[in-house]
């Protein structure tokens, strides 16, 4: 039995009917701000291959929401036309959204070739002006390690071969720009060999799965990327991004009235708000300042994923919005994240009537399990860490001081 602790605000949506003649016309939600560096996105039915079921209207609605929160999204795969629908929706809404396009792998050649070929078919049709990179795999190494630790090296070799395969396919095209090819995995699975083989590394970095209390979660996230396995990426001179960071609002199969508890980690709407308050603006400030602790990040995730009920625990409840796209009982930070500039045929549309404070001109996956850091080390929270500018900003936030 599911227990919902998150409360919808009752303002179901400020977005007008998506089936309107011009998807670039909608009413912006004044509660939303472009404070997220990026957002992790899986269309509602994208994991239901081959049945699928997502429509363009549904993805347009999601793109309208995301464009009010960020200028970057990452997708997890191409099955069920999810990348195609995203790119079509971005063009129709004239929004400034850039994409790290995911190609999901599971060790099966048929899966990889289907996903890869669809990705390139989408690039050929819609162009690559707003494509920031191609992400091959999501937690493939973590899944291999969980199934059988002895197969990890073989899995790493396979993943690297698929990164190289996508590079070869890119070299055969004439897209007129260099598109980096990388991968996303649990932070605990990043190795020097893996990092050296990729153009960029995305590390899923979830304090919730490491049993960190919410007051220390933002600091843990930033310092984990520096002090634990993800540092192999920066050591190799590669771009390191946090591919998933967030906090769940509820959990299944628990008698704890506060939500699922993992050591000190508790799933609740109040704790999601604390994570937003202590992580987002401090990280944005570090990014703007060019700090070594300033890594781009993708908030996990846009809305609750009902299909993840099969995994139990907190898996279905990581959204900023509930499954019906109602904003949860939270306040989105108002600081503006560093943004990607509009390119090609993209506009900077964030809807009409916006009071979000964004820089818009005012409108004319299956991901599988969300995984986590996959590691019981609390890493950065104890050892040899110099108090950083990020930490100072976090402590200020916890203390109730204004960040920006």
pLDDT digits (tens, 9 = 90+) for 104-152: 999 999 999 999 999 999 999 999 999 999 999 999 999 999 999 989 9
In a domain, 3, yes or no: no
Predicted local confidence at residue 6, as pLDDT: 33
What is the pLDDT confidence band of residue 238, given thresholds at 50, 70 and 90? very high
> What is the C-alpha separation between 371 and 210, in angstroms, rounded?
11
Q: Which pLDDT belongs to residue 353?
A: 59
Asked if residue 14 belongs to a domain, the reply is no
Tokens representing 132?
A: 């920031």
**Which of the pair, 21 or 115, is modelled with greater confidence?**
115
Q: Is the peptide bond before 301 cis (omega within 30 degrees of 0)?
A: yes
The closest of 185, 193, 180, 182 to 153, measured between CA atoms, is: 193
In a domain, 321, yes or no: yes
DSSP label at 14?
A: S
The pair of three-digit structure tokens given for residue 72, joined into one six-digit string: 């970057």
Query: Which residues have a Cβ under 8 Å from the Cβ of 72 and sit 6 or more positions away?
Result: 37, 38, 39, 97, 98, 99, 100, 132, 296, 298, 340
State the Cα–Cα distance between residues 49 and 47, nearest whole angstrom: 6
Task: Give the 3-state secondary structure of residue 173.
Answer: coil
Q: Contact at 8 Å (CB) between 160 and 197?
A: yes
Using a 10 angstrom Cβ sphere, with 0-12 exposed, 13-18 middle and 19 or more buried, the burial of residue 398 is middle
- Point out the least confidently predicted range of 61-65, 158-162, 380-384, 398-402: 380-384
Q: What tokens were used for 14?
A: 């400020």
Convert the pLDDT of each residue in 323-350 to its tens digit. Answer: 999 999 999 999 999 999 998 666 677 7
pLDDT for 309 equals 87
Mean pLDDT for the stretch of residues 213-230: 92
**Confidence grade of residue 21 (pLDDT, cut at 50, 70, 90):** confident
Dist. CA 161–CA 260, nearest whole Å: 38
- Give the residue with greater pLDDT, 3 vs 353: 353
User: How many folded domains does the chain comprise?
Assistant: 1
CATH number of domain containing 212: 3.20.20.80
228 annotated active-site: no
As a whole number, mean pLDDT of residues 214-235 equals 92
Q: What is the pLDDT of residue 47?
A: 77
Q: Given a cut of 80, is residue 154 above it in pLDDT?
A: yes
**Residue entry with tokens 């997502």:** 54
pLDDT at 312: 84
Q: Which two tokens stand for residue 175?
A: 């897209």
Confidence of residue 371 (pLDDT cuts 50, 70, 90): very low
Residue 232 belongs to domain spanning: 39-398
Question: Annotated catalytic residue: which of 44, 118, 139, 315?
Answer: 139
| pLDDT at residue 11 is higher than 70 | no
Is residue 306 part of the annotated active site? The answer reads no
Per annotation, catalytic residue among 44, 223, 228, 244: 244
In a domain, 10, yes or no: no
Note the pLDDT of residue 399.
Answer: 46
> Is 232's pLDDT higher than 90?
yes
Average pLDDT, the chain: 83
* DSSP of 221-289: HHHHHHHSTTHHHHHTT-EEEEEEE---S--SS---TT--EETTEE--HHHHHHHIIIIIHHHHHHHHH
Quote the CA–CA distance of 338 and 72 in Å, as a whole number. 10
Report pLDDT digits (tens) over 291-323: 777 789 999 999 999 999 888 889 999 999 999
pLDDT bucket at 380, cuts 50 / 70 / 90:
very low
What pTM does this model have? 0.84
> What is the widest separation between alpha-carbon atoms in the chain?
58
Contact yes or no for 182/201 (Cβ under 8 A): yes
Q: Tell me if 373 sits within 8 A of 188, measured CB to CB.
A: yes
Q: Is the pLDDT of residue 31 over 90?
A: yes
Average pLDDT rounded to a whole number, residues 35-51: 88
Q: What is the pLDDT of residue 395?
A: 46
Digit-coded pLDDT (tens) for 51-106: 788 899 999 999 999 999 999 999 999 999 999 999 999 999 999 999 999 999 99
All residues at 6 or more sequence positions from 52 whose CB lies less than 8 Å from its CB, including other chains: 45, 46, 79, 80, 81
In a domain, 132, yes or no: yes
Is the residue at 159 inside a domain?
yes
Q: Is residue 1 part of a domain?
A: no
Give DSSP secondary structure letters for 41-88: ---TTTTSTTT----HHHHHHHHHHHTTT-SEEE----GGGHHHHHHH
In a domain? residue 350: yes
CA distance 372 to 185: 9
Q: Which tens digit of pLDDT belongs to each residue from 241-296?
A: 999 999 999 988 654 444 466 678 999 999 999 999 999 999 999 999 987 777 89
Check pLDDT > 60 for residue 10: no
């Amino acid at each position: 039995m599911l227990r919902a602790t998150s409360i919808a605000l009752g303002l179901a949506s400020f977005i007008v009917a998506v089936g309107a003649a011009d998807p670039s016309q909608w009413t912006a939600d004044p509660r939303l701000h472009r404070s997220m560096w990026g957002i992790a996105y899986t269309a509602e039915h994208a994991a239901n291959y081959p049945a699928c079921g997502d429509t363009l209207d549904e993805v347009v609605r999601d793109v309208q929401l995301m464009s009010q929160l960020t200028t970057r999204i990452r997708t997890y795969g191409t099955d069920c036309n999810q990348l195609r629908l995203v790119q079509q929706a971005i063009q129709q809404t004239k929004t400034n959204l850039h994409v790290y396009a995911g190609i999901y792998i599971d060790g099966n050649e048929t899966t990889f070739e289907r996903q890869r070929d669809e990705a390139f078919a989408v690039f050929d049709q819609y162009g690559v002006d707003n494509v920031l990179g191609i992400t091959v795999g999501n937690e493939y190494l973590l899944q291999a390690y969980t199934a059988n630790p002895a197969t990890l090296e073989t899995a790493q070799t396979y993943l690297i071969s698929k990164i190289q395969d996508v590079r070869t396919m890119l070299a055969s095209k004439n897209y007129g720009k260099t598109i980096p090819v990388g991968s996303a995995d649990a932070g605990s699975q990043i190795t020097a060999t893996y990092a050296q083989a990729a153009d960029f590394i995305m590390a899923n970095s979830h304090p919730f799965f490491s049993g960190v209390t919410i007051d220390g979660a933002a600091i843990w996230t930033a310092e984990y990327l520096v002090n634990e396995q993800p540092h192999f990426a920066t050591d190799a001179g590669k771009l390191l991004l946090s591919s998933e960071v967030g906090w769940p609002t509820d959990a299944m199969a628990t008698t704890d009235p506060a939500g699922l508890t993992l050591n000190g980690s508790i799933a609740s709407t109040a704790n999601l708000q604390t994570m937003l308050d202590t992580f987002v603006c401090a990280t944005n400030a570090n990014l703007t300042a060019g700090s070594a602790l300033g890594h781009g990040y993708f908030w996990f995730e846009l809305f609750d994923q009902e299909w993840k009920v099969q995994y139990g625990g907190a898996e279905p409840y990581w959204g900023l919005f509930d499954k019906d796209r109602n904003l949860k009982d939270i306040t989105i930070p108002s600081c503006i994240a560093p943004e990607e500039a509009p390119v090609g045929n993209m506009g900077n549309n964030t809807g009409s009537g916006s009071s979000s404070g964004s820089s818009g001109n005012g409108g004319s996956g299956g991901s599988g399990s969300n995984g986590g850091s996959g590691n019981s080390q609390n890493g950065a929270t104890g050892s040899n860490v110099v108090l950083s500018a990020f930490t100072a900003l976090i402590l200020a936030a916890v203390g109730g001081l204004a960040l920006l």
